[in-house]
Chains A and B, each alone.
Chain A
């Protein structure tokens, strides 16, 4: 039967784990700044950020690559996880904000006198971490239940998810919603009473994100190698056959959809303390489409592909936007066309084909 990973796979996994847990901290903190091997703080943050994106791409692969459901709204779940974390970080600022108030700055600015009801748990780290999972999970579950029960499929489903994230973005843009309007949350100082803007904290968050990604990868691998995972692929290839074989696709689609949303929420929560800001821009339709692009570029239904894709596209983005700022979008467009035309199985597919030949 299918194994979790082959010998090569385990070796690669151990190498990846060592890179994240040992190499990155060592090169950043252990090697002096003048050395050629020094990894700058900028690069540690960049890697941390891309690791968050890679979690989203992995989540996208489960729902799109394996189940054949293209979501163009995963940015919403990412942002919701980010906002749940952001609320806690805002409360951690304490009296150090610009207005020296108990309340977050934007509330003072809006003349609010007390925390709105949905901020009532925001002082508790544990509660907010539960919300990181519960809010995207619950929204995905309710939305998915009605969409899948009505047998909404293909492009219709994609468009609805796109509309959903767009609607949420408009909602979060409003000041009355209580999430800082179009500025969102920023100016974070501490997490768990430990200062955020230190080299040590930067490395800790990056390593934590890497560990979560590896954990999620193993979980995803266990899922797709199980019979459950094969039912998902069967739904992608011939959903009516699945129904007439006695499986109810609703339960399968709903469970993987919800899991995928939760993974994005966790990625968002890891992202916010590292980049120091969350605003409704994360819910823009373009942000969600980008997640799908990472998965497609890396190679769908391979798990590792989308992670590679996230690193490739975002790595290219950070280089291009410095070297040729005005050409980045042209490059992204060209990349997507090239992948669609010449690499239907993405970057990973290219290597697999090489290996076979």
Chain B
């Protein structure tokens, strides 16, 4: 969170990578070192976005945005189109480098120094607005690829699923209601089912932080309801950031007691309970003034 903590975190990560390489991936050495490069959540903050600014050709997509999400928190982010919600996710997941500012995961991992795959490996999962699954593979294979495992080429060449891993895939299949469809090609699923599959793929990675960009877009009311239940069951085990337009869905998720963040023109316009922000004059103006 503070610059020196993040320096220390970066150093620890480098040391961890080096020692892991030296250990040749052997399990015994691996175990002992595991804690070193991992995010530190002792301070109770999972994600800390501080003062980030992103501009595209002079247009400020994000303008000194500051935001923090606690460990285990479910945070909804709302805002009109072009408010910078997707750009914010791009910055957190390494797709876009902000012009200035800091993004830290836990108190010690500087996400701006890592690449997209590294960020995913360290425990940040992201769901895209448009469902992105591997259309030609089966539902089962989609989940298998997302399963937390060594991501290197040689490991993938000789990978065999263990019983524990099979069980885990079965568990997630049940959770996302796709058990019957396990051997179907993912491209044949309905839009809502693809959304669910992508969420399932995120869960397979066992992420500490989940970023969900409009997860219920294109879902039926029933599917939306079930998605809300699923997210509520994940709360506490994972930190979730949900970007959504559907106010009914946000209302379900916040259960009248959780904080909602309103983004507008690249910075935070208001923060508080859904009922509070809906009564906020500035928010009303932004939403209805257009």
- A residues 217-233 touching B (CB-CB < 8 Å): 223, 226-228, 230-231, 233
Size of the chain A interface, CB-CB below 8 angstroms: 25
Contact B144 A227 (CB under 8 A): yes
- If A226-B156, A228-B156 touch, whether A243 touches B117 (CB-CB below 8 Å) is yes
Task: Name the distance in Å between A4's Cβ and chain B's nearest Cβ.
Answer: 14
Write the chain B residue with the least CB distance to A301.
B136
Q: Which listed residue (A234, A236, A246) contacts B151, Cβ 8 A?
A: A246
Which of A182-190, A247-255, A291-299, A349-357 forms contacts with chain B? A247-255
Contacts of B201 in A (CB 8 A): 241, 245
Contact B120 A244 (CB under 8 A): yes
Is A238's CB within 8 Å of the partner chain B?
yes
Q: Which listed residue (B116, B118, B145) contacts A234, Cβ 8 A?
A: B145
Q: Which listed residue (B115, B125, B126, B157) contacts A227, Cβ 8 A?
A: B157
Contacts of B117 in A (CB 8 A): 243-244, 246-248
Is A1's CB within 8 Å of the partner chain B?
yes
Contact A243 B157 (CB under 8 A): no
- If A230-B144, A234-B145 touch, whether A241 touches B156 (CB-CB below 8 Å) is no
Q: Which listed residue (A227, A233, A236, A237) contacts B156, Cβ 8 A?
A: A227
Is B249's CB within 8 Å of the partner chain A?
no
In the docked arrangement, what's the CA distance between A255 and B132, Å? 25
Q: Which listed residue (B145, B153, B158, B159) contacts A245, Cβ 8 A?
A: B145
Contact B157 A244 (CB under 8 A): no
In the docked arrangement, what's the CA distance between A289 and B145, Å? 33
Contact B144 A251 (CB under 8 A): no
Task: Name the distance in Å between A240's Cβ and chain B's nearest Cβ.
Answer: 7
In the docked arrangement, what's the CA distance between A226 and B160, Å? 9
Is B15's CB within 8 Å of the partner chain A?
no
Contact B137 A237 (CB under 8 A): yes
Contact B145 A226 (CB under 8 A): no
Contact A1 B156 (CB under 8 A): no
In the docked arrangement, what's the CA distance between A233 and B161, Å? 19
Task: Name the distance in Å between A262's Cβ and chain B's nearest Cβ.
Answer: 16
- Of B126, B156, B205, chain A has the most CB atoms within 10 Å of the CB of B156
Q: Which 4 A-B pairs have the closest CB atoms?
A: A246-B120, A228-B156, A227-B159, A246-B121
Residues on B close to A: CB < 8 A? 93, 115-118, 120-121, 125-126, 128, 132-137, 141, 144-146, 151-153, 156-159, 161, 198, 201, 205
